[in-house]
Amino acid sequence: MAIPYIRHGQGMVRSYLFATNQDLLDLTDTLGARILEQHDFGNHCYHTELGIGDSIIVVESADTSLPDAPRGTTMVYVPNTEAVTATLTSKGWFVQDAPAETPYGETQATLVDHHGNIWYIATFHAPTA
């Protein structure tokens, strides 16, 4: 149910990240992110609301990393951690921690985008009875 006082009616809590424009493209290409809204500030700088699955994140982006902008950490659940890790690595993202099984039932990798944001890419494995 859409909530009228929340932008796009959902996502009461959302990550607000700074990134490069390439990172924005990588998210749409690899994670199927949808641009819900985008404002052009000029000089290739954008404020973008992205929908990823049932979630929304906000990304301020520019052609290059903004050295004084803060870095963030975001977790994204995907069907195949290894495949997403391989795709993002081919786009120049850095693998901080390769995909591995966690004690809490996930295959998880830690990647770093062009701006320095940390992304936990994970696949949850339902426990077997």
Q: What is the DSSP string of 77-89?
A: E-S-HHHHHHHHH
Phi (first) and psi of residue 5, to 5 degrees: -90, 5
What topology is assigned to 7-124 in CATH?
2,3-Dihydroxybiphenyl 1,2-Dioxygenase; domain 1 (3.10.180)
The confidence score (pLDDT) of residue 7 equals 83
pLDDT value at 6 more than 60: yes
Count of H-run helices and E-run strands, the chain: 2, 8
What residue segments make up the domains of the chain, in order of their start?
7-124
Element (H, E) at 59: strand 55-62
What is the pTM assigned to this prediction? 0.86
Report the pLDDT averaged over residues 39-67: 94
Mean pLDDT of the residues in the chain: 92
pLDDT band at 128 (very low <50, low <70, confident <90, very high): low
